[in-house]
Chain A
Amino acid sequence: MSVKAMEKMELVIELGVEEIPASMLADATRQFAALVADALAAQRLAAGGCTAWFTPRRIIVGFADVPSRQENLRETVMGPPKKVAYDAAGAPTKAALAFAEKNGVAPERLRSKVKVVQTPKGEYLSLVRTVRGEKTAKLLQSLIPAAIGKIQFPKTMHWSPDDFRFIRPLRWVVALFGGKPVKFAVADVTASRFTAGHRFLGEPKIAVSSLADLKERLRGNSVLVDPAERLEIIRTGLLAEAGACGGKLLEDPALLETVVNLNEAPSVVRGSFEERFLALPKEILVTVMREHQKYFSVTGADGELLPAFLAVVNLHADKDGLIRAGHERVLRARLADAAFFRETDAKVRLQDREGAMAGVLFQEKLGSYKDKSGRVLALLPGILEAVGAPELLEDLSTAARLYKCDLVTEMVKEFTDLQGVVGGLYAKAEGYPEAVWKAIYEQYLPKSATSPSPESRTGAILALADRLDTVAGCFSVGLVPSGSGDPFALRRQGNGILKIILDHRLSLSIENLVDKSLQAHGKASAETAGELKQFFEGRLRFLFEEMGFAYDCVNATLAAGHDNPLDTLERLRALEAMRQEPDFLSLASNFKRVANILGQAGAPGAEVDEARLSDAAEVALYRSYLKVRPEVGAAGARRDYGTALRLLASMRGAVDEFFTQVMVMAEDPLVKANRVALLHGISRLFEGLADISKIVIEKK
């Protein structure tokens, strides 16, 4: 059968939505493109290139070269068993006729079309059926609305008389296939060829015929559909305007993405504020401008802020300066507020706010922030002693008493993101030493597993103690993360504790920390301590894999202990470095056998009895063992794990020879026990280093 070349056409879909939240736009568009692509593929429609654009009011996807109909499908259908389908005379029964009819085969063609096939269950009727491909335009009528309904948003709403839910009300849908509208309705909207331009600079109803036409007509109606194009315009505008006020743009990629997602026709407006506001700390100025007004800041040659801001607006230009004047007025009010907060806050010193902290609840079962501060204070001496820095106690104790006091300042009530930062700045202004104010300033670092830890040593220890108190406290009252539920972000806090330990190279025992913290909570319990041990093992595994270590090295290292995270990291590094050495790999592969043998042999016997060693290979191995044992011990004691592992790898030849020449499971039980004892001794050399039987050996 000759098949006419399948016609291929363009599919264009635009969802016109009331302003979609900026943070959800890109993801929703990606989802929608993937949903449509998957739905086309599921219908055996192989589409060409996909385009995905968005603006605050629209999600646009286009697919090139979508076949105009499905290929015909030939499929084999199984029917009734032969013994039911044909009678004794070999004539087809009702069952056979029904099977044929159901699949569109006329009775007279039954013999030529229906075959008998052999299956494991016996002989059955079978036929090959041709399913005619459906027209794509028809399939799209249900495929597109289904895909729209499957876009996931963090929070949806209801607006139309049906049950349809979406991020914001859907107001129009353009759906064109080969330039013709696809007919369907979704929620209270009927798809058509009509889009809408910019709210104020464009026409409300514009007919379009293709993706390229949509893009160009919208451009003519003051809508730039491609976010990459908007980004370019905004960046260029920001750099030019920053230059125009004699400074440099303070780069802010997250804010840049936000403003790309907030505007259809972006341009940059430059404004200024009074110099007197520069007396406010830079952190506060930047936060006021960024968080509340979505303005970019400009810095001078010295890195300090200039009294200027850059706003991205949804119009081509601000010819009369009206918009600039409006934004300046708003910012002036905001900065005046911030200055007022600063002045008000300055009337009460941080140390005089300790009492007020008693009224701020940390957690219902864990008391107020004053209680928390007291517990953290109690943790400090132990931690400082363990890390060998008792001289920090005085400054850290001061910091721990004050570190949450900014929660009751006007500034933090208004700008909650600045918790800690405000406290640190205020402490600095009150004349506390750097070790104190920096500790307060940096207490919320690191923000994630990949962002920097506090720079200062006091900041690191305060941040660690604060998180430890939260994690241990929550576990002690049963607030334990489970599955996807972790309302107190304990996993993130656990990661923070470990990251600080590793970044600052603090040699600390988790068990010890946990015990101290549970005591401070008055909730010492072996069970909770056990849960926390497991929790930290999980966090450490996560962090190591995040750092790029191979999972089998992580497993091998953790299996040999993980109470001291810094020590664990050093063992892991040594192991990872050894992993590529042929001697080591060979040793590791033999160690799987050792682990098996020891597993079967049960409890280890006495020490090796040298007199009973008979085979030359076992004698050689024993000598080798005796030689490296003290050296491995010494290297381990000084945490030179690389040397320890290299020493162990040097036994490779002796181990190989042993396994080639010697039968461990000898008939004489005494000989056998002696050999097991030897292997056990060797395996004990790895104790506290790594369980190398967990190393995965790739087969060549």
Chain B
Amino acid sequence: MQAKNIQQIIMTLERFWDGRGCVIQQPYDVEVGAGTMAPETFLRVLGPEPYRVAYVMPSRRPTDGRYGDNPNRVQKHHQYQVILKPAPRDVQDLYLQSLVALGIDLRKHDLRFEEDNWESPTLGAWGIGWQVLLDGLEITQFTYFQQAGGVDLEPISAEITYGLERIATFIAQVDSIYDLQWSGDVTYRDIRHREEVEFSRYNFEAADVEMLFKLFSLYEGESRRLVAMDLVLPAYDYCLKCSHTFNLLDARGAISVTERVGIIARVRQLACEVARRYLESREKQGFPLLRRESAAAAAVEAGKAVAAQ
């Protein structure tokens, strides 16, 4: 059955990945630039514990704002993020099946995996993978994580990041994301256009640069203070706030190229410290999710059975 609008696409993906043993998470409630930055990815990929998770992540990229005038660029878009840890052997096939579940006939479209290695200097993370192109449109980033927070990963996680607006424009064959249906009778424009106009003005014109620089320092200090107290998860929230504040400053043109490298390095230091402490903390807890490894495997089997029906 063809998913017809954005919420049907989301629901189809939720059902699909629920059937493959994923925890269906909710979007994280701190601003992030990408689903990768949410703790359910950045922290869960660390260490030996197996994990499968899927969630929608509204992703803010202030510099991509176009005042609601550009049919394809927005300062906030939606990713559908899937982490499979460890990466199963048939992970590409699973991904392709999810596209079929969305109603895309892969024998009639040109789908390809083209080299695109993902790297985030802010998170001290990188991976090897592809961008997935469907009739020339990039719809997904597919990555085998190799390192996060400066830590070598073992086992390796597969990350599938669907661009929901991209997939929706492909399915609906529209030229502008504002023409997408969000639900049966409400459009993307109805819900999001005003937000794009206001946030573009805020990001590019109105954001108080001096305040943002102050906030950056305050958030950075708080993250350091918290991590030293072994409050790793709150410390990571403040690391994320630093990252978003940096993005806002960048959109305001307040950061010169020289400063840029230095500020990214400061955020990376926070992320690497959090990653290290998080691993220690999980180890102290005895890596709790390892205990349910066999249960997880059973869930996957059950999922296959469901899919086969």
A interface residues with partner B (beta carbon < 8 Å):
18-19, 21-23, 56, 155-159, 161, 168-169, 171, 188, 199-201, 262-263, 269, 293, 311, 313-315, 318-320, 322-323, 325-327, 329-333, 336-337, 340, 359-361, 364
Whether A322 pairs with B146 at a CB distance below 8 angstroms is: no
Q: Given contacts A18-B113, A168-B128, list 5 more A-B pairs with CB under 8 A.
A: A56-B113, A157-B156, A159-B144, A330-B136, A361-B258
Which of B89, B107, B113, B137 contacts A326 (CB under 8 A)? B137
Whether A364 pairs with B106 at a CB distance below 8 angstroms is: no
Chain B residue nearest to A156 (CB atoms) is B128
CB distance from A442 to the nearest CB of B (A): 26
Whether A332 pairs with B175 at a CB distance below 8 angstroms is: yes
Whether A322 pairs with B135 at a CB distance below 8 angstroms is: yes
Chain A residues positioned under 8 Å from B87 (CB to CB): 159, 169
Whether B175 pairs with A155 at a CB distance below 8 angstroms is: no
In the complex the two chains form, what is the Cα distance from A323 to B109 in whole Å?
A: 6
Chain A residues positioned under 8 Å from B156 (CB to CB): 157-159
In the complex the two chains form, what is the Cα distance from A323 to B110 in whole Å?
A: 7
* Top 9 closest pairs, chain A to chain B, by CB: A326-B135, A21-B115, A157-B128, A313-B110, A19-B113, A361-B257, A330-B136, A327-B136, A359-B256
Which of A326, A329, A331, A336 contacts B109 (CB under 8 A)? A326
Q: A19 with B108: in contact, given A326-B170, A364-B258 (CB under 8 Å)?
A: no
Taking CB atoms and an 8 Å cut-off, the chain B residues in 137-156 that contact chain A are: 137, 144, 146, 154-156
CB distance from B161 to the nearest CB of A (A): 17
Chain B residue nearest to A271 (CB atoms) is B136
Chain A residues positioned under 8 Å from B144 (CB to CB): 157, 159, 169
Whether A315 pairs with B110 at a CB distance below 8 angstroms is: yes
Q: Which of B71, B87, B127, B257 has the most CB of A within 10 A?
A: B257
Chain A residues positioned under 8 Å from B92 (CB to CB): 18
In the complex the two chains form, what is the Cα distance from A201 to B107 in whole Å?
A: 7
Is B101 in contact with chain A by the CB < 8 A criterion?
Answer: no
Compute the total of residue contacts between A and B using a CB distance below 8 Å: 106
Chain B residues positioned under 8 Å from A311 (CB to CB): 110, 136
Which of B71, B112, B128, B134 contacts A336 (CB under 8 A)? B71
Please list 13 pairs of residues, one from A and one from B, whose beta carbons are closer than 8 Å in the complex, sorted by A's number. Answer: A19-B114, A19-B130, A158-B156, A171-B89, A200-B111, A314-B110, A322-B109, A322-B135, A323-B110, A327-B110, A329-B137, A332-B175, A337-B70
Is B25 in contact with chain A by the CB < 8 A criterion?
Answer: no
Q: A326 with B175: in contact, given A171-B89, A200-B111 (CB under 8 Å)?
A: no
Is B117 in contact with chain A by the CB < 8 A criterion?
Answer: yes
Tally chain B residues at the interface, Cβ within 8 Å.
39
In the complex the two chains form, what is the Cα distance from A330 to B138 in whole Å?
A: 9
Is B72 in contact with chain A by the CB < 8 A criterion?
Answer: yes
CB distance from B237 to the nearest CB of A (A): 30
Taking CB atoms and an 8 Å cut-off, the chain B residues in 83-109 that contact chain A are: 86-87, 89, 92, 96, 106-109
Chain B residue nearest to A359 (CB atoms) is B256
Whether B173 pairs with A331 at a CB distance below 8 angstroms is: no
CB distance from B216 to the nearest CB of A (A): 19
Q: What 1/0 mask marks residues of chain B from 154 to 177 whose CB sits below 8 Å from any chain A CB?
A: 111000000000000110010100
Chain A residues positioned under 8 Å from B72 (CB to CB): 333, 336-337
Chain B residue nearest to A331 (CB atoms) is B136
Which of A169, A325, A327 contacts B173 (CB under 8 A)? A325
Whether B130 pairs with A200 at a CB distance below 8 angstroms is: no
Whether B117 pairs with A155 at a CB distance below 8 angstroms is: yes
Whether B107 pairs with A19 at a CB distance below 8 angstroms is: no
Q: A314 with B112: in contact, given A188-B89, A326-B170 (CB under 8 Å)?
A: yes
B interface residues with partner A (beta carbon < 8 Å):
70-73, 86-87, 89, 92, 96, 106-115, 117, 127-128, 130, 134-137, 144, 146, 154-156, 169-170, 173, 175, 256-258
Chain B residues positioned under 8 Å from A22 (CB to CB): 114-115
In the complex the two chains form, what is the Cα distance from A327 to B127 in whole Å?
A: 28
Chain A residue nearest to B87 (CB atoms) is A159
Which of B108, B111, B257 contacts A359 (CB under 8 A)? B257
Which of B73, B86, B135, B256 contacts A330 (CB under 8 A)? B135
In the complex the two chains form, what is the Cα distance from A625 to B292 in whole Å?
A: 98
Q: A330 with B111: in contact, given A157-B128, A169-B144, A337-B72 (CB under 8 Å)?
A: no
Whether A293 pairs with B136 at a CB distance below 8 angstroms is: yes
Q: Which of A18, A155, A337 has the most CB of B within 10 A?
A: A18
In the complex the two chains form, what is the Cα distance from A319 to B107 in whole Å?
A: 11
Q: A333 with B175: in contact, given A188-B89, A323-B135 (CB under 8 Å)?
A: yes
Whether A158 pairs with B109 at a CB distance below 8 angstroms is: no
Whether B109 pairs with A330 at a CB distance below 8 angstroms is: no
Chain B residues positioned under 8 Å from A329 (CB to CB): 137, 169, 173, 175
Chain A residues positioned under 8 Å from B89 (CB to CB): 169, 171, 188
Chain B residues positioned under 8 Å from A333 (CB to CB): 71-72, 175
In the complex the two chains form, what is the Cα distance from A263 to B106 in whole Å?
A: 15
Chain A residue nearest to B90 (CB atoms) is A171
In the complex the two chains form, what is the Cα distance from A333 to B136 in whole Å?
A: 11
Chain B residue nearest to A326 (CB atoms) is B135
Which of A156, A199, A327 contacts B135 (CB under 8 A)? A327
Whether A262 pairs with B114 at a CB distance below 8 angstroms is: yes
CB distance from A628 to the nearest CB of B (A): 62
Whether A315 pairs with B107 at a CB distance below 8 angstroms is: yes
Chain B residues positioned under 8 Å from A313 (CB to CB): 110
Whether B70 pairs with A340 at a CB distance below 8 angstroms is: yes
Which of A263, A322, A337, A340 contacts B108 (CB under 8 A)? A322
In the complex the two chains form, what is the Cα distance from A185 to B136 in whole Å?
A: 37
Q: A262 with B112: in contact, given A326-B137, A331-B136 (CB under 8 Å)?
A: yes
Whether B136 pairs with A326 at a CB distance below 8 angstroms is: yes
In the complex the two chains form, what is the Cα distance from A332 to B137 in whole Å?
A: 11
Chain A residues positioned under 8 Å from B86 (CB to CB): 161
In the complex the two chains form, what is the Cα distance from A18 to B158 in whole Å?
A: 13
Chain A residue nearest to B113 (CB atoms) is A19
Chain B residue nearest to A204 (CB atoms) is B93
Chain A residues positioned under 8 Å from B127 (CB to CB): 157
Whether A320 pairs with B108 at a CB distance below 8 angstroms is: yes
CB distance from A297 to the nearest CB of B (A): 15
Chain B residues positioned under 8 Å from A262 (CB to CB): 112, 114
In the complex the two chains form, what is the Cα distance from A210 to B8 in whole Å?
A: 48
Chain B residues positioned under 8 Å from A323 (CB to CB): 108-110, 135
In the complex the two chains form, what is the Cα distance from A199 to B111 in whole Å?
A: 10
CB distance from A262 to the nearest CB of B (A): 6
Q: A157 with B107: in contact, given A262-B112, A326-B137, A330-B136 (CB under 8 Å)?
A: no
In the complex the two chains form, what is the Cα distance from A556 to B145 in whole Å?
A: 56
